[in-house]
Structure 1
């Protein structure tokens, strides 16, 4: 994995804000948002129950750079995470980082090898949404859990290699941007 992708894995704060800083046009392509079964890692972190799952691709200047999946308890849609229900194509990052009552766990890096269920899901969605195969044999990403009034929300983000190129260019042109 490149140094630039490692920086993205560890970058604190809002991924949305960092992506917006990379170009002129930031957009969220919503792939699906529905109550759905959890993946094994999500069950381990969040426990049993019914969950709202939202999967998106984040683009900068038309280039797909991130595949993301957020998971929140369905019951919290009538409470702390009610804004999720109507999020649509708005970025989740604004909801999470504009609210001082939201706490975030430490970032956890991930490496999803080709052929595993997570990598297959990302590759399938990427191909359907962009018309191109997932551009790497391994999906590098990160996850964290946000909490608001006792309700937890897990976010996983997988970084396409193009993000490293854009991020490296940004770091070169602005050394203060980390």
Structure 2
């Protein structure tokens, strides 16, 4: 086969190759569920995942907004049988614009991250990009812990001061005669 024919065949293969499937999920979608707490509680845990039954590229984005400041952490993993024709590989994990590399293991990939700042009412995203051969699944968890606002800290410290003053005033004096 000459070079022109090979180049033409390659161009047709690329033109007909399926583009990455882009999917956006929000809290409440079947693939993005809060499993503990609510958006208003100081601690929230969510589960996110996607499964695929066909070969191709994927580009999933999980979007959420929380009405309080805090920090996020979480983990993501894939698994497959060593030597299996079914394989899912995550090429990019991007959380709020920051990219994280996954750790390759013999039977999958994984990554845990923490200390991700979450801002009240800001759009937060977890983007997972990759390729699947045959079929595959990835799963992840996300945890959010609220950080008290300065006014809440002031009220808490003030409350401890009032409590300390009340305990000190209640001291009982015993008189011996």
TM-score by length of 1: 0.27
Which structure has the bigger radius of gyration? 2
Higher helix share: 1
TM-score by length of 2: 0.27
